Amino acid sequence: MWLDRWKARRALRRKAIPEVLWNHALTALPFLHELEPGELRHLRTLSSLFLDHKQFTGVNGFEVTDQVALLVAVQACLPLLHMAPENRPWMALEWYDDFVGIVMQPSEVVARRTTHDDSGVVHYYTEVIDGEAMEGGPVMLSWPMVADAAVLAMDGYNLVIHEFIHKMDMRNGPADGCPPLPSGFMGHANRSSVYQEWNQTWGVAYDDFRQQVIMYQRFGAPPPWLDAYAASAPAEFFAVACEAYFVNRTMFTRNFPTLVPLLDAFFNPEGGTVPLQARVLPV
């Protein structure tokens, strides 16, 4: 324990965030204004530790400045704010300890994909993406989407949170919309019921949302508030929902009231903390 504290203090000295940079981040990310002063101080600590543990690389001519790195760090750490005791902030960062690299792109990227159909035939295609989280590997982010976080928050968008939620989801296997959940989650007595409530509640919300998207795209119904990309897979629905939950809670609560208690319990369990080591694996 003392060694962890010593390492954390050393990291905080190495990656101390200058006041001017911190104030710029608060100005650039107005959704942080909902936080209490103590929460902002803790977020600053988490961001310093994050910056000490991660390696940023700019590609295709993009330069990663201290300001760029801090904007990413603050948004990446927001979901971790209550995931470990404040006097042990390094424990929260364990959610992201399966990778080091963060690749910053100057714009969106064309990714080459492959897929297999039911007959086993391989199909090749390309996809334009703004970010990507790789299981056990780095995170890629497009700078324009990071820089426009304040504007995009109005519609519930946040690229950084989205990709880092995928990282949390991947802690118990490929992203599927169900991250590791703590024992006794929401008062459940056994592991089976913990995951049963999570999967059932999210499954109903996902099916309802897919139906809204279908009605919009095929029959001219009003568009759903949440990004239609969330209807592409349960893992994407989880990530898109979480980004909206953090940057526009009012609209998210209005549109997805059944999911709010689950996310409150996961990201701030009973106002306390449940670090990663205490989470149970799926049954």
Q: Where are the beta strands (DSSP E) in the chain?
A: 55-58, 101-105, 109-116, 122-129, 131-133, 139-142, 181-182, 279-280
Third-level CATH fold of 2-280: Cyclin A; domain 1 (1.10.472)
What 3-state DSSP class applies to 213? Answer: helix
Determine contact, residues 263/245, Cβ cutoff 8 Å.
yes
- The phi and psi torsions of 228 (rounded to 5 degrees) equal -60, -20
Give the pLDDT of residue 273: 58
Give the pLDDT of residue 3: 46
What is the distance between the alpha carbons of residues 19 and 134, in angstroms, rounded to a whole number?
33
Give the pLDDT of residue 50: 97
What is the distance between the alpha carbons of residues 249 and 235, in angstroms, rounded to a whole number?
20
Nearest to 34 by CA among 153, 148, 157: 153
pLDDT one digit per residue (tens) for the chain, 283 residues: 544 665 666 767 787 899 999 999 999 999 999 999 999 999 999 999 999 999 999 999 999 999 999 999 999 999 999 998 888 899 999 999 999 999 999 998 877 767 666 777 776 766 778 999 999 999 999 999 999 999 999 999 999 999 999 999 999 999 999 999 987 888 887 888 889 999 999 999 999 999 999 999 999 999 999 999 999 999 999 999 999 999 999 999 999 999 999 999 999 855 555 566 667 655 5
pTM of the model: 0.91
Give the pLDDT of residue 44: 96
Q: Where are the beta strands (DSSP E) in 82-202?
A: 101-105, 109-116, 122-129, 131-133, 139-142, 181-182
What is the distance between the alpha carbons of residues 160 and 148, in angstroms, rounded to a whole number?
11
Give the pLDDT of residue 60: 96
Delimit the domains of the chain by residue range: 2-280
Determine contact, residues 73/51, Cβ cutoff 8 Å.
yes
Give the pLDDT of residue 45: 95
Determine contact, residues 126/113, Cβ cutoff 8 Å.
yes
Give the pLDDT of residue 277: 66
